[in-house]
Amino acid sequence: MARRPRGRDFLWLVLASGLVLVSRLPFLTPGYGADPDAWRTASAVRLIAETGRYHESHSPGHPVQEWVGSLLWQTGPQGLNGATAVASALSALFFGLACLELGAGAWSALAALALAFAPIVYIHSVDAMDYVWALCFSMAALWLALSGRWVFAGIALGLAIGSRITAGLLLIPLLLLGANERKTWGGVGAFVILSLGIGAAMYVPNFLQHGMQIFALTPAPYPPLSRLLQDTTLELWGTIGGLGVAVAIVASLLGRPVVGVLKSHREWIACAVLSILLYLVAFLRLPDEPAYLIPVVPFVVLVLARLARPALFAAACACILVSPYFLDLGRPDGAPARSGEIPLPGGQPLVILRPSEGALFVDRRQRKTGMRNGIGIVTAIRNLKAPAAVVVASWLPQVEVMSHDTRPEGVRLVEYVRAGEADSLLRRGTTVYYVPGTEAGSLYYEHVDLASIGARPLPYEPTP
């Protein structure tokens, strides 16, 4: 590949990366994120800081983020989420540098912005999840591999694996970049050894504590086809961005072949396509979260930059840039449509159209609601008389973080209780409470009807 261009193109890329960081600052709070795993991360980094020993946030662990986060835990959401925001800006920078290596010139800055402003990336750029940390190191590995610096690429990919173990899937596509040039085989060999060695070493502390249990999975029910289609399209790109990307790809495939923003190189095209396929297959095997597809986003942008005319590529990127802010088309959250929202179809909507609210603002609203409900739950728990056990289900990570210094002695938080465990608690005089809304999960996961075993609803009124 060509050497990294410098000058004006690089300056535009640096400015674009700075814009990415600044755009995150208003959204770093409230809380650590809408996903319970974000709160598990907050709990884990506090335990690491207090004990000096590794504690996983959620299996199989995300050691790079968790060890770094342990240095920041006292700064609260601003510090931990802010570190993720920095990782998002670096992701854009490294991806843009990769585009420069491929000859994109000034278009590299626009491609970097498209990656950073894809709604799924934006949302997880301002919380305490691990996705963007892995993306940051993966994009560094891509850039370094394209520039022929295989040793450093191996270190970067090893850190990506240490941030999220599925980043190891990128190892195979990156090997395609150096497999056809004999002079690079030594460097490629070092790349493989370093990637796997550093990545595996990150998980040794957790493996020594828990063994193969760290790889155990508890998947949710497999979603229907309609949910899969939404998760692989609109959840990634948003409504406006999804339409822009779809139109650009279809128009490019149906039109005459053109010279796009990037020139054709068989190695990197194969790398991009294989990366998309590998992560898509991995997602379809365990489609719990659309964010699992975040690694696909940069490679789709690369393919689009090759297929589309420059004007069409620019239009698609512009659609992605505005997509986090407007016209969300999302699944209902259990509540009826609010003012300004349109249920589609009426009655029992499959989706809700929010014309003036994009996915980023929907996530922020959910985080605010989650914080209000968390405060309500914690307040109710503080007023309980011991001994008591509270079934909190998915609220467990957030309530543990918010109440770890103030929870009354003798009041225990549990995700769910088994039937035999509930009987034992009641015989010992322990009152069992449950957060309203956790009944269905208790029936599904533990086959326990909370009301029938004598559990009481926590005296707390949920905020919709």
What was the pLDDT predicted at 78? 96
Q: What band does 106 get if pLDDT is binned at 50, 70 and 90?
A: very high
What are the E-state strand segments in 314-460?
328-330, 342-344, 351-354, 388-391, 411-414, 431-434, 456-457
Q: What band does 442 get if pLDDT is binned at 50, 70 and 90?
A: very high
What was the pLDDT predicted at 28? 97
What was the pLDDT predicted at 117? 98
What was the pLDDT predicted at 267? 82
| Cα 129 to Cα 5: distance, rounded to the nearest angstrom | 33
What was the pLDDT predicted at 2? 45
Instruction: Indicate the range of 243-247, 323-327, 354-358 predicted with least confidence.
Output: 354-358
What was the pLDDT predicted at 183? 67
Task: Output the CA–CA distances (angstroms, integers) from residue 30 to 73, 77, 212, 375, in the order listed.
Answer: 15, 7, 35, 12
Q: Structure pTM?
A: 0.94
Q: What band does 221 get if pLDDT is binned at 50, 70 and 90?
A: confident
The pLDDT tens digits for 308-340 are: 999 999 999 999 999 999 999 887 766 677 778
What was the pLDDT predicted at 321? 98
Q: What band does 357 get if pLDDT is binned at 50, 70 and 90?
A: very high
Q: Which two tokens stand for residue 391?
A: 């079934």
Q: What band does 347 get if pLDDT is binned at 50, 70 and 90?
A: low
Going by the DSSP 8-state scheme, the letter that residue 180 receives in this structure is T
The pLDDT tens digits for 130-152 are: 999 999 999 999 999 999 999 99
What was the pLDDT predicted at 285? 93
Q: What band does 4 get if pLDDT is binned at 50, 70 and 90?
A: very low
* pLDDT beyond 70 at 1: no
What was the pLDDT predicted at 426? 82
Average pLDDT, the chain: 92
Q: What band does 258 get if pLDDT is binned at 50, 70 and 90?
A: confident
- Tell me what the mean pLDDT of segment 413-417 comes to: 93
- Tell me what the mean pLDDT of segment 180-200 comes to: 88
* pLDDT beyond 90 at 342: no
pLDDT above 70 covers a percentage of the chain that reads: 96
What are the E-state strand segments in 66-198?
none
The pLDDT tens digits for 23-71 are: 999 999 999 999 999 999 999 999 999 999 999 999 999 999 999 999 9
| Cα 33 to Cα 37: distance, rounded to the nearest angstrom | 8
SS3 content of the chain, % helix, strand, coil (to 5): 65, 5, 30
Helix, strand, or coil (residue 112): helix
70 phi/psi in degrees, rounded to 5: -65, -20
Element (H, E) at 120: helix 119-123
Residues 134 and 202: beta-carbon distance below 8 Å: no
Q: What band does 451 get if pLDDT is binned at 50, 70 and 90?
A: confident
- Cis peptide bond upstream of 26, omega within 30: no
158 phi/psi in degrees, rounded to 5: -60, -40
Instruction: Indicate the range of 34-43, 131-140, 290-299, 344-353 predicted with least confidence.
Output: 344-353
What was the pLDDT predicted at 127? 98
What was the pLDDT predicted at 356? 87
